[in-house]
């Protein structure tokens, strides 16, 4: 995706602000590497199951935008767990303005309760998968 197209999707103002503090990535990347980076505080995702597990593992807040399949069910889980928020009005196939996306990102990032919940979920997930944990697999 060209930068002009990115500006059309998320809004010119957000892209300009991100130039010095972040980035928008359209090509394939190793999501675990990105979510595990200390500077990542939030994530916008369709929220397939891999994203759900990775967000919990890394304790990253999620703004969920379900597209199909299990995404809506996963969105309910993330919302009830306190790991993120689901913008229900966006729905499947609805066109959303960049300013609206930016507004929801700012709300998510400013939500200290979500930040705290994400940290707590990260600790719980890692404890459950440690030796002898409830999800140890042995």
**pLDDT at residue 70, rounded to an integer:** 85
Candidates 32, 34, 11; CA nearest to 22 is 34
Can you give the residue ranges of every domain in the chain?
Answer: 3-129
pTM: 0.74
Best CATH choice for the domain 3-129 from the list 3.40.50.300, 3.40.50.2300, 3.40.50.2000, 3.30.450.20:
3.40.50.2000
More confident: 25 or 33:
33
pLDDT, tens only, 64-97: 888 888 888 888 988 899 999 988 877 666 788 8
Mean pLDDT confidence for 109-122: 94
SS3 labels along 61-110: EEEECCCCCCHHHHHHHHHHHCCEEECHHHCCCCCCCHHHHHHHHHHHHH
Candidates 29, 33, 42, 20; CA nearest to 102 is 42
Yes or no: say if 45 and 104 are a contact pair by the CB < 8 Å rule: no
């Amino acid at each position: 995706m060209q930068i002009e197209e990115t500006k059309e999707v998320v809004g010119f103002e957000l892209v300009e602000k991100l130039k010095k503090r972040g980035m928008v990535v359209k090509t394939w990347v190793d999501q675990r590497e990105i979510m595990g980076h200390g500077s990542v505080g939030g994530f916008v995702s369709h929220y397939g199951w891999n994203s759900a597990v990775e967000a919990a593992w890394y304790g990253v807040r999620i703004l969920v935008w379900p597209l199909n399949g299990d995404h809506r069910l996963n969105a309910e889980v993330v919302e009830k767990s306190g790991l993120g928020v689901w913008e229900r009005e966006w729905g499947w196939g609805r066109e959303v303005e960049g300013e609206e996306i930016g507004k929801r990102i700012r709300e998510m990032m400013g939500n200290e309760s979500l930040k705290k919940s994400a940290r707590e979920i990260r600790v719980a997930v890692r404890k459950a998968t440690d030796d002898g944990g409830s999800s140890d697999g042995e």
